[in-house]
Amino acid sequence: MIISHVESDYEDQDFGMMESFSNVFMFGFCDIKFNTVKVSLQQDKLEISSKIPMLSFQGHYKSDGRVLTYPLASLGTFEVNLTDVTMMWIIYFKRTAVNGTKYLQVEQLFSEMVPLDVNINVVERFNEDNKLQQDRLNSVLNESSAELFIHFKPKLTSLINQIFVSLINNVLSQFPENEVLPD
């Protein structure tokens, strides 16, 4: 899967950062293992608990910001690996009709992602200097990876949810409700 472009920003009195990510490739969803799947036909709801050995995100980034009054700028490529990811999904469906035929579509999708470990690696230009303290930067990023993941998780989860809603709806649009659900 690919995310073509996404932006994120954060600002407080001591720190401010605007990040732009592009051409982000996601790997690992094909290795998903489903632990439990619960269906409630009365509530048009599907609950899934799953485990993913590793989710990887690779792409390009640009960031501009500051620590106190010191300006920071960075540009390069990144790789983020989430290992032993527990992922929970709750999907609500609605019924639609096309030319008199009833279909199911996703009305809402909620998910929660909890990785056991987060590893971050950037290859970048930092304040216009190649390789300036890159090893130290990667070390600091990984020491703070849990906090960084918490910062990016809402945006990441929202993007993944949008992708899966689109995929699920594309599949469901090919099969009438009576072929998907038992009588």
Place 69 in a pLDDT band, splitting at 50, 70 and 90: confident
Mean pLDDT of 38-48: 95
Going by CATH, does the domain composed of 2-180 fall within 3.40.50.720? no
pLDDT in tens, 119-147: 988 876 555 555 556 677 778 778 888 88
Give the pLDDT confidence score for residue 71 in this predicted structure: 78
pTM for the full model? 0.81
pLDDT in tens, 16-33: 788 888 999 999 999 999
Highest-scoring range by mean pLDDT, 55-69, 132-146, 155-169: 155-169
Q: Which long-range contacts (CB under 8 A, 24 or more apart) does 28-35 make?
A: 28/52, 28/53, 28/54, 28/55, 28/56, 28/85, 29/1, 29/55, 32/87
Domain spans of the chain, in order of start: 2-180
